[in-house]
Amino acid sequence: MKKHKLFFRADGSSTTGYGHVMRLLSVASMLNEKYDCIFLTQCPDTFLKTQIKLVCTKLIELPAHKNILQEAKYIADTILTSQDVIMLDGYNFDTNYQRTIKKKCFKLVCIDDLFDKHFVADAIINHSEGINTKKYSIEHYTKLYLGTKYSILRKSFLGITPVFNYKNKAHRVFINMGGSDEFNYSLKALKLALSNSSVKHIDIVVGSFYKFKTELNNIINKNTHLPIVIHTNVSEADMCNLMQLSTIAICSASTVAYEYASVGGILFLYKTVSNQKNIYSFLLKSNIGYKATNFNTKLIDFENKENTKLYFKNKVSFFTGKSNINISAIFEQFDKERSIIMRLAIASDSIIYYQWANEPAVRLNSINQAKIPIEAHESWFSARIKSKNTFLYYFESNKIALGQVRLDIQNNIAEIDYSIDALFRKQGYGELILQMAINHFLTLHPTIKITATVKESNIGSNKIFEKMKFTKTKNKVVNDSVYANYNLKIAKQ
């Protein structure tokens, strides 16, 4: 079976860093068995070309454009199709860039850690913990996937539980400040590690573009009493092994800190660039990481074995080694939607609508719970498919009737209603067909307010509308049953 295409767009270099590219390649490594992974980038150096070709089936080098919007138009017009998914990771992919891309693709996903723009993407992944969703300016359909359950880690760091391997009198310290480490935090970390007599071994990982090896070697030559090893161009597997051998790490507050938290020991942090502030703040607040400046004082606390056990127990609650499963599930939902066909109902659909309407579970959750006579239904259905104020959306999956969504317009307000065939219930289809119908309806009527009335005891439907950013306004009582009222708020951008 032919794989669907999954595009990745990011840039990186020895001067600006490789973080955005490496994050996307981590996602690609989770998904490349199922999807045809293709990377889009400008002016990749030899290192990037090598890394991309290890994971992706194809590398497309983008031509230079006068501005970023021209690039978006080029990608949309010459590369993407309506069946493709594309992921963006970078700070220059603004709202207009996203909007241009989204018009031509099936789904758009953004990796973000700044929430500094309006997003029109279908999904946003931000693996920082504790982010207030209200900080995001997004469309009504945009799904937020936030927190460490969506940690973007390379394959070697998945499926591992951090081991209680802390030895307070014989520490092995792992140091990594990113590939280029422009401000030479590696030197600061080395001096810090050497300031504690319990440190017996130091591993420093740097990239091939690190410019300060001479300074490191000068320090190493003055401290021959313990092994200090500089590792360059370390493979993913070797990096994981070095982390697992260590008892302590001093890292930048970046993805490398997440990798260490997933497989290693006690974590100390430097915030080396401003865009690390959210991860840095989370790791400190959650007591998974500590400020590097508190290195010596904090190590005293960990001489107590109970403190150490509690630390590892807390860390495992955030880093389960299963984030790849959660990220893959996002794309599985896309595939599920791909299998769905939506169209407006026609006269020949009357019988299946009649059957859906009279299912016991549907009648139980309706305001009018009496069985609907066939004659009344046929009259109602005939009038509705002819009405300009009613939209009956019919859905099927693999040629099997799946469900329906109805929107009735009255006084510039559309009341929405839906039902799922019993064969497809409790599989996530309710939210999918509602979103598909709403998206289509709003292209025709962007200013009309959408409301829903849901029986309070119908827990599943209430959860769906709340998840879809409908705001619960008030309850009403009809025939001794309580119904919740929901309104959909549409972002105006």
CATH code of 282's domain: 3.40.50.2000
Tell me if 217 is assigned to some domain: yes
**HSE-up of residue 218 (Cα within 13 Å, Cβ side):** 5
Asked whether residue 62 falls in the same domain as residue 147, the answer is: yes
Could you write out the DSSP letters of every residue in 135-188?
Answer: G-EE-TTPEEEESGGG----GGGSS-PPP----TTSEEEEEE--SS-TT-HHHH
Contact 85, 106 (CB under 8 A): yes
Asked whether residue 28 falls in the same domain as residue 118, the answer is: yes
Asked whether residue 438 falls in the same domain as residue 343, the answer is: yes
Distance CA 308, CA 127 (A): 25
The backbone region for 428, taken as left when phi is positive above 0, alpha when psi lies in -120 to 50, beta otherwise, is: left
Q: How many CB atoms lie within 10 A of CB 238?
A: 13
Q: Give the pLDDT confidence score for residue 168 in this predicted structure.
A: 63
Tell me if 334 is assigned to some domain: no
Helix (H) / strand (E) containing 285: helix 277-285
Q: Give the pLDDT confidence score for residue 329 in this predicted structure.
A: 96
Asked whether residue 365 falls in the same domain as residue 467, the answer is: yes
Nearest by Cα to 152 from 114, 120, 111: 111
Q: Give the pLDDT confidence score for residue 185 in this predicted structure.
A: 97
Nearest by Cα to 155 from 14, 32, 334: 32
Asked whether residue 167 falls in the same domain as residue 146, the answer is: no
What angle (nearest 5°) sits at the alpha carbon of residue 25, between those of residues 326 and 125? 40
Cα-based distances in Å from 446 to 389, 391, 404, 438, 491: 14, 14, 21, 10, 11
Tell me if 214 is assigned to some domain: yes
Contact 119, 112 (CB under 8 A): yes
Asked whether residue 146 falls in the same domain as residue 162, the answer is: no
106, 125, 152: which is the final residue of a domain?
152
Cα-based distances in Å from 103 to 90, 199, 281, 312: 20, 56, 36, 46
CATH number of 409's domain: 3.40.630.30
Tell me if 454 is assigned to some domain: yes
What angle (nearest 5°) sits at the alpha carbon of residue 203, between those of residues 197 and 206? 135
Q: Give the pLDDT confidence score for residue 474 in this predicted structure.
A: 81
Tell me if 416 is assigned to some domain: yes
152, 176, 204: which is the final residue of a domain?
152
Distance CA 222, CA 217 (A): 9
Q: Which domain holds residue 410?
A: 339-488
Mean pLDDT per 10-residue section of the chain, whose length is 493 residues = 94 88 96 97 94 97 94 98 97 97 97 94 95 92 96 93 68 91 95 95 92 95 95 93 95 95 95 91 96 95 89 92 96 95 97 94 79 95 97 96 97 95 93 96 94 91 92 84 88 54
Number of structural domains in the chain? 3
Asked whether residue 146 falls in the same domain as residue 179, the answer is: no
Tell me if 325 is assigned to some domain: no
CATH number of 9's domain: 3.40.50.11190
The backbone region for 392, taken as left when phi is positive above 0, alpha when psi lies in -120 to 50, beta otherwise, is: beta
Q: What is the pTM of this model?
A: 0.90
Asked whether residue 292 falls in the same domain as residue 162, the answer is: yes
As a residue count, the chain comes to 493
152, 178, 197: which is the final residue of a domain?
152
Contact 289, 256 (CB under 8 A): no
Tell me if 349 is assigned to some domain: yes
Asked whether residue 344 falls in the same domain as residue 304, the answer is: no
Asked whether residue 353 falls in the same domain as residue 451, the answer is: yes
Tell me if 450 is assigned to some domain: yes
Asked whether residue 394 falls in the same domain as residue 436, the answer is: yes
Asked whether residue 138 falls in the same domain as residue 160, the answer is: no
Helices (runs of H) and strands (runs of E) counted in the chain: 17, 22
What angle (nearest 5°) sits at the alpha carbon of residue 23, between those of residues 19 and 273? 30
